[in-house]
A = this chain, B = another copy of it.
Amino acid sequence: MENLVIKERLAKLRAKMQETGIDYYMMPTSDYHNSEYVADFFNVRAYFCGFNGSNGTLVVGKDWAGMWTDGRYFIQAEKQMEGTGVTLYRMLDAGVPTLTEYLQANMQKGEVLGFDGKVIATEIGKNLEKSLRKKEIEFKYSMDLADSVWTDRPALPCHDIYVLSDELCGKSYKDKLSDVRAAMAQNNTQQHILCKLDDIMWLTNLRGNDVECNPVALSYAFITMDEFFLFVQSAEVTDAVADYCKSNGIVLKDYHQFVSFLGEYKLKGDTLYDQRNVSYAVYKALLDNTEKSGYEIRNIEDPTELMKALKNETELKNIREVYLRDSAQLTKFIYWVKTNVGKIPMTEYSAAMKLDSMRAELPGFIELSFPTISAYGSNAAMMHYEATEDDYAEVKPEGMLLVDSGGTYMGGTTDVTRTIVLGKISDEIKHHYTATVVGMLQLANCNFLEGCYGRNVDIMARQPLWDLNIDYKCGTGHGIGYMLNVHEGPQNIRWRMRPGLEDAILEPGMIVSDEPGVYIEGSHGIRIENILEVVAGTCNGDGQFLHFNQLTYVPIDLEAIDTQYMQPKDIKALNDYHAEVYRRVEPLIEEPEIKEWLKEATRAI
């Protein structure tokens, strides 16, 4: 069936392209800060092709349009773009050209590539310059064509900023700033532009509310050895924030003045910037000033990235508590689903609402850490499926419900997935489910040496599935912020890297997710996700051994476990985990019937 809404939008865009002399127009998934989740204002790509996953780039030509996304979203993108005429390019699949390769092959000499330079990362812009140089492609990057076509475009978000206490953060802004300045000095730089929102929030101990589910304010920071300029929308600055900034030497400037400030500031030496997080438009402005000054701009990983990833003792203590309370709440939700399915009306969406409201009851709740994924039956095969008020499946007492969810609380941001058995399931599903659980626990229980990257341990989670010739086409794990973004770097657990992905050795104090899964299109989806803390173990002549401690304590559905697919060590690992779940979560539950159920749900097998 044709999707006339999208087709009409694309026609208007193409008219605009012709008017402005643009042959191909590119729309990535980004705000002005390379954030993963972006405000509605920035959802240009979704507006023009229908696909609303968290990663994808749409390119529109005169009589062709293509959208590139990664393996998490192949199924979802195909469904959402049905009838739009937009071609799906499955990233990393054999024979599929990258976006750059496509443009190299299809753009004609001297044609014009258009994009909004504020939403394109510098690295991407520079790489495109290089790749398309031979074809003499002209770049027009100062126009946002959506502005005129998207008539009911939401406004740029603008919400109050708030201050977190040093006590809650475990480290003051001033102490963090001196660490950042030490890193600047180490890199022989005198200025540092910081554009990544969660990094700015982490550094300043401020939080905002400009991106759904991310407690961040739209902002830029300009750091020198004795000054700190924070660029935010002035309407977001409360009295408390103004006082805090004043007493801490933070000079507030208007968000929209950042680019012109960059052009005028008298540089005192080289400038540190991280080209992954700096937009092409900002980069071009900075480059201009730098070239005049005779200094250099140096592309270095934002020092805040690793500092932010290494949680301090206060953060870890709070995180452990928050995860436990969050685990107890999810446990109660699982009980609610299991006892009510088939008895009360239940949909993917209503179940998600129930869970969201249960989280909201917890003390210190701020917001969800991402929109709850509640996917029933074959919908769960779509890795990041999102049921909505208008588009959902009914939840019946058969098959399984996959729920991936989390919250941001005073004291931490959570993320957890359970796949809940609601009735009869096939032996094949039990096999897949058991292998997923074995993989999750195998990674969680593995020992490794300091110096290991996520790629060294990833196979511990994947092996039981690879043995079945099954792979989940995504990473196994990601870092998680402290009262911040649910996805953060630089560490990760994946077996191969995409260009531009961050990487870091696993170090004590980092937290990572452990979320293997099985996704069989049209049939079923399974994901089990726990969050792990990296901790130090034995240190001897062979090195510093590390391992993980669990942060998540939620029962794993024994109804889908078939011990014939487990080794004795796997059974022990599951029983040990369940014993800990019961020991820790039971005291947080008041209802005797849930206590009783939990005992059964965490029984040794």
The proximity string for A residues 555-570 relative to B, scoring 1 for CB distances below 8 Å and 0 otherwise, is: 0000000000001110
Q: Which residue of chain B has its CB nearest to the CB of A449?
A: B471
Instruction: Judge whether B456 and A495 touch: CB under 8 Å.
Output: yes
A452 and B495 contacting across the interface, CB-CB below 8 Å: yes
Spot the interface stretch: A37-45, A46-54, A149-157, A536-544.
A536-544
A567 surroundings in chain B (CB, below 8 A)? 567-569
Q: A567-B568, A568-B567 are in contact. Are A469 and B455 (CB under 8 A)?
A: no
Task: Knowing A469-B447, A542-B469 are in contact, say whether A463-B463 is a contact too (CB < 8 A).
Answer: no
Within 8 A of B (CB), among A442-481: 446-449, 451-452, 455-460, 463, 466-467, 469-471, 473
Closest to A505 in B: B496
> In the complex, A456→B462 CA distance in Å?
11
Chain B residues contacting A470 (CB-CB under 8 Å) are: 542
Residues of B within 8 A of A545 (CB): 466, 469
Tell me, in angstroms, the Cα distance from A568 to B537 when the chains sit together.
28
Nearest-CB distance from A134 to chain B (Å)? 13
Q: How far apart are the CA atoms of A473 and B543 in the complex, in Å?
A: 10
Whether A466 contacts B448 by the Cβ 8 Å rule is: yes
Among A158-174, those with CB < 8 Å from B are none
Chain B min CB distance to A208 (Å): 39
Chain B residue at minimum C-beta to C-beta distance from A463: B446
In the complex formed, the residue of B with least CB distance to A568 is: B567
- Chain B: minimal CB distance from A498 (Å): 12
Within 8 A of B (CB), among A93-119: none
> With A459-B446, A463-B460, A545-B466 known to touch, is A451 a contact of B540 (CB < 8 Å)?
no
B495 A466 Cβ-Cβ under 8 A = no
Residue pair A452, B496 in contact (C-beta under 8 Å) = yes
Count of chain copies: 2
Q: Say yes or no: B460 contacts A447, CB within 8 Å.
A: no
CB nearest to A520 among chain B residues: B541
Count residues of chain A with CB under 8 A from any CB of chain B. Answer: 30
Which residue of chain B has the shortest Cβ distance to A543 in the bound complex?
B471
Are B538 and A469 within 8 A (Cβ)?
yes
Q: Inside 8 A of A447's CB, which chain B residues have their CB?
A: 463, 466-467, 469
Name which residue of chain B comes closest to A541, CB basis.
B521
Instruction: State A294–B70 Cα separation when bound (angstroms).
Output: 44
Beta-carbon contact of A471 and B568 below 8 Å: no
What is the CA–CA distance of A446 and B442 in the complex, to the nearest angstrom? 15
A466 to B542, CA, bound (A): 10
Chain B nearest CB from A93 CB (Å) reads 9
* Complex partner residue of A460 from B451, B459, B537, B542, CB under 8 angstroms: B459
Nearest B residue to A468 by beta-carbon distance? B447
Give A568 to B471 CA distance when docked, in angstroms: 25
Please give the distance in Å from A443's CB to the nearest CB on chain B. 10
Residues of B within 8 A of A471 (CB): 449, 542-543
CB distance from A89 to the nearest CB of B (A): 16
Report the separation of the CA atoms of residues A469 and B473 in the bound assembly, to the nearest whole angstrom: 32
- Per-position binary interface string of chain A over residues 380-393, scored 1 when its CB falls under 8 Å from any chain B CB and 0 otherwise: 00000000000000
State in angstroms the CA–CA spacing of A468 and B124 once bound together. 45
- For A455, list chain B residues within 8 Å (CB): 455-456
A531 smallest CB distance to B (angstroms): 21
Question: In the complex the two chains form, what is the Cα distance from A467 to B542 in whole Å?
Answer: 13
Give Cα A455–Cα B456 distance, bound, in whole angstroms.
6
Give the shortest distance, in Å, between A520 (CB) and chain B (any CB). Answer: 10
Taken together as a complex, chains A and B put the C-alpha atoms of A543 and B495 apart, in Å, by 13
Of B459, B469, B496, B538, which is within 8 A of A540 by CB?
Answer: B469
Chain B proximity of A72: nearest CB distance (Å): 13
Task: Kindly provide the distance from the CB of A96 to the nearest chain B CB, expressed in whole angstroms.
Answer: 13
CB pair B466 A459 closer than 8 Å: no
Residues facing B in A511-545 (CB within 8 A) are 537-538, 540, 542-543, 545
Nearest Cβ distance between residue A39 and chain B, in whole angstroms? 35
Cα–Cα distance between A460 and B540 once the two chains are bound (Å): 21
Q: CB distance B568 to A469 under 8 Å? A: no
Q: Which residues of chain B have C-beta atoms less than 8 A from A452's C-beta?
A: 495-496
* A-B complex: 8 closest residue pairs judged by Cβ atoms: A471-B542, A567-B567, A469-B538, A447-B466, A456-B495, A447-B467, A469-B545, A451-B496
What are 25 A-B residue pairs whose CB atoms fall within 8 Å in the complex? A446-B459, A446-B463, A447-B469, A448-B459, A448-B466, A449-B471, A449-B495, A451-B495, A451-B496, A452-B496, A455-B455, A455-B456, A456-B458, A456-B495, A459-B460, A460-B463, A469-B537, A469-B540, A469-B542, A469-B545, A470-B542, A471-B542, A471-B543, A473-B542, A568-B568
17 further A-B contacts with Cβ under 8 Å, apart from A447-B466, A456-B459, are: A447-B463, A448-B459, A448-B466, A449-B466, A449-B471, A452-B495, A456-B458, A456-B495, A459-B459, A459-B460, A469-B540, A471-B542, A471-B543, A473-B542, A567-B568, A567-B569, A568-B568
